[in-house]
Amino acid sequence: MAELKIDIDRLVAELQELSRLSATEPPAITRVLYTEPDLAGRAFVKAKCTSAGLVIREDAIGNLFARWPGSEPNLPAIGTGSHIDAIPHSGMYDGTVGVLGGLEAIRALQSSGLRPRRSIELLLFTSEEPTRFGIGCVGSRAMSGTLSPTALAELRDADGKRLDDVRTEAGYRGSLDTVRLKENHYAFFVELHIEQGPILEREGIAIGAVTAIAAPAALKVTLNGSGGHAGAVLMPQRHDALCAAAEIVLAVETAAKTTGSPDTVATVGICQVHPGAINSIPSSVHLTVDVRDIVLESRDRAFASIQETIQKVSTSRGVQAKVETISTDPPATMAGPIVAAIEAASVDGGFSCKRMVSRAYHDSLFMARLGPTGMIFIPCRNGYSHRPDEYASPEAMKIGVETLAQTLGRLAG
């Protein structure tokens, strides 16, 4: 392949321009699904893809496909891409490096004179973050058939609005049955992403070749006890929902620590207390529980242990527990040929490379259900992510984009 020229100044400028399309002032980024900043961000990406001569299509929920046709356009394509939605008060590199960096990789391949045999297609996934509808990777779940059209339509946000209604208001129409892709749509899919962890930076390694993606099992838990005046109800008569929640939170931590797997992690990310007054006994508590591992058996042991503890605690404390399973997704193994192609591209570029697992989950988790999938990680400062000081250096991004471009070129033929 001819020498690739990555225009890192252009990529940095585009990332900065996209960061200004936010409900919060940079460096804090907020782009929630189908809100004005999200729609403006999509329009921005579409315009850049159109300028690059890519053929654009959007599906019924807003997944964006931008294709560079190959010499044999009927062959399954090579896919790359990520997301641009951002949780409230997060950073400007999560997902966006994979979208705009993927575009820059395609532009570099175009400039090199390459005419790929297979088409190369850039994806902007709808709603990788679970911010609005409480479930992550909505677009890739629907593409892979993991989320049925009926379940997709009935997802509801905090205001009770159905996804089917909200997407129509945002201008996305058509049957939800059409969102699912055929299994042979892609020959290979490769996602570029910041690591969201400290390993690459700490070890001074330029590229992470992801071998597996951990997957979450998640619960919503509502505990209903008895409220009352903090001074008038004596301790033996109390059914304090927050005390029950406290036991459960600690049990979640213990469950993760005792599976025997170093990769099991568990988090209570939301704890909402009602009525929330200093002199009132908590009558109800809403919790979320997130359990992850790259090994399904150990994750499920922790998940089952937590559910058992919820029942025991609610019984012993005389509170009612309503438990709803949000998801129980299996981990994904990345395709060996893609891992090998990433490593070969790193060697050719003179970049250090490390095989590693992704403990955060990404759209690639669900793309792996459609066909061979891989991920490229680049370092981010201190491993910080989902916070305003998230940062990937121009040099790290340039190396990542070059590695992605070389990998796409190899796979496209």
Asked whether residue 199 carries a pLDDT value surpassing 80, the answer given is: yes
The tens digit of pLDDT for each residue in 293-303 reads 999 999 999 99
Average pLDDT for 320-346: 96
Asked whether residue 1 carries a pLDDT value surpassing 90, the answer given is: no
Q: Which residue has the tokens 């403990």?
A: 359
Average pLDDT for 162-187: 96
Q: Enumerate domains of the chain plus CATH numbers.
A: 8-214+331-412 (3.40.630.10), 215-328 (3.30.70.360)
Torsional sign, CA 309, 315, 317, 319? positive
The tens digit of pLDDT for each residue in 88-131 reads 999 999 999 999 999 999 999 999 999 999 999 999 999 999 99
**Greatest alpha-carbon span in the chain:** 80
pLDDT at 2: 66
**Token digits of residue 123:** 């994806």
**Residue 195 carries which side chain, given as an amino acid letter?**
E
Torsional sign, CA 29, 33, 39, 44? positive
Q: How many CA atoms lie within 13 A of 236 on its CB side?
A: 0
Give, to the nearest 10 degrees, the angle between helix 394-412 and helix 336-349: 120
Asked whether residue 18 carries a pLDDT value surpassing 80, the answer given is: yes
Q: Are 100 and 51 in contact (CB under 8 A)?
A: no
> pTM for the full model?
0.92
Rg of the Cα trace of the chain? Answer: 23
Which helix (H) or strand (E) segment is 323 a member of? strand 320-328
Torsional sign, CA 122, 126, 130, 134? negative
Angstrom distance (rounded) from CA 291 to CA 76: 35
Asked whether residue 215 carries a pLDDT value surpassing 90, the answer given is: no
pLDDT at 41: 98
Average pLDDT for 45-70: 98
Q: Are 388 and 242 in contact (CB under 8 A)?
A: no
Q: Are 413 and 116 in contact (CB under 8 A)?
A: yes
**Token digits of residue 129:** 């973050």
**Token digits of residue 233:** 């109800």
**Token digits of residue 360:** 């955060």
Q: Are strands 86-90 and 29-31 parallel, antiparallel or unpaired?
A: antiparallel
Residue 334 contacts by C-beta under 8 Å, 6 or more apart in sequence? 210, 211, 212, 213, 364, 368, 373, 374, 375
**Residue 386 carries which side chain, given as an amino acid letter?**
H
Residue 228 contacts by C-beta under 8 Å, 6 or more apart in sequence? 238, 280, 281, 283
pLDDT at 175: 97
pLDDT at 413: 87
List helix spans (H) across 20-130: 36-51, 96-111
The tens digit of pLDDT for each residue in 262-286 reads 999 999 999 999 999 999 999 999 9
Q: Are strands 77-83 and 186-194 parallel, antiparallel or unpaired?
A: parallel
CA dihedral in degrees (344, 348, 353, 357; nearest 10)? -30
Length of the chain equals: 413
Q: Read off the pLDDT band of 183 (50, 70, 90).
A: confident
Q: How far is CA 42 from the centre of its chain?
A: 17
**Token digits of residue 321:** 């527990």
Average pLDDT for 305-313: 98
Residue 352 phi/psi, 5° resolution?
-70, 150
CA dihedral in degrees (250, 253, 258, 262; nearest 10)? -170
**Token digits of residue 137:** 């990777």
Q: What is the mean pLDDT of the chain?
A: 97
The tens digit of pLDDT for each residue in 341-386 reads 999 999 999 999 999 999 999 999 999 999 999 999 999 999 999 9
